Homo-oligomer: A and B are copies of this chain.
Amino acid sequence: MNLAQGIISGDRHSLARAITVVENNAPEGFVLLDELHHRVGRAFRVGITGPPGVGKSSLVDEIAVRLRGQNATVGIVAVDPSSAFTGGALLGDRIRMQKIGLDEGVFIRSMASRGALGGLACTAFEVCDLFDAFGKDYVIVETVGVGQSEVDVARTVDLTLVVLSPESGDSIQAMKSGLMEVADILVVNKADRPGADRLEVELRGALEMGRRHGCDVPQVLKTTATDGQGIETLVVEVHAALKKMEADGSLLKRRRENLEAKLREALRARLEEFFWEDERFTNEFKARIVEVLDGRKSPYRLVDEMAATAFGRK
């Protein structure tokens, strides 16, 4: 049984191996994703992002438990660009698996990379495709908002929840950082802590301004992941939002935009691969780097000429 067959037949070991292949950017990954493409498009993809420490993981786990209660299956991709620093990804995985991972209907996978964030989002997209082809009803992509990553990851999902907490500092910061712009639903987690009401009021105030300028503004919902408060409502609202998007065509529109971004990213990588695969180009590159080192040619002109050669322009 090959990996594609394994995934289609619902074999968890095949799924785990397939994710590793895709993460390692191995050529078989390309073949596999190509084989599975006709099975992709059924799962709802939900992104969950926010600053560190707002309780995203607990929230994701609670959402997964609720979805399982409705017999929906769930795949979780946890993207943490900083965890290569702390080794947190693996440890976190192990702890979380104890809680929900023994349930056959949930599959958690952490991804940490010291590489470019763009590459990480690209891989997250592909892992979502694998979960989708495997037959998961929901794929949750959890990521830490550290600037560009939340925007990149929002481009891989159907709907994005932005999570804040009273302790995550000011809502102003979140607004400045572009986190608000990617939010379809705003979640005030740790709603039992002091300051939660004030944060909610601030967020609603800011959104009101947007509404007056004719913008579509996200809902604000309060949760306390640790005791399950508000999670039921959140899951209902997420489902309702996705159904509405499905009905009014905006889901298709967003998926089309996401796909286009993904294609552009993949094309960039592929063009580069094609260049370095070709001995003629790599030999020319090695030979001509001397021209730059001895000052005969600027790096900018050399690169221009090499790219022109590759495209058959000269």
Number of copies: 2
Q: Chain A 267-278, CB within 8 Å of chain B: the 1/0 string? A: 110111111001
Is A41 an interface residue, CB under 8 A from the partner? yes
Is A298 an interface residue, CB under 8 A from the partner? yes
Q: Is the CB of A295 within 8 A of B37?
A: yes
Q: Is the CB of B304 within 8 A of A270?
A: yes
CA gap between A278 and B267 in the complex, in Å:
14
Q: Is the CB of A307 within 8 A of B263?
A: no
Among the 9-residue stretches A58-66, A67-75, A254-262, the one with 4 or more Cβ atoms under 8 Å from chain B is A254-262
Give the contacting residue for A303; candidates B263, B289, B306, B310; CB below 8 A.
Answer: B263
Q: Is the CB of B299 within 8 A of A259?
A: yes
Give the contacting residue for A114; candidates B38, B147, B298; CB below 8 A.
Answer: B147
Is A178 an interface residue, CB under 8 A from the partner? yes
Is A293 an interface residue, CB under 8 A from the partner? yes
Q: Is the CB of A259 within 8 A of B289?
A: yes
Q: Is the CB of B33 within 8 A of A300?
A: yes
Chain A residues near B (Cβ < 8 Å): 30, 33-34, 37-38, 41, 81-82, 84-87, 114-118, 146-148, 151, 173, 176-178, 256, 259-260, 262-263, 266-268, 270-275, 278, 285, 289, 292-293, 295, 297-304, 306-308, 310-313
The contact sample of 6 A-B pairs, CB cut-off 8 A, is: A34-B298, A259-B289, A259-B292, A270-B304, A270-B306, A274-B307
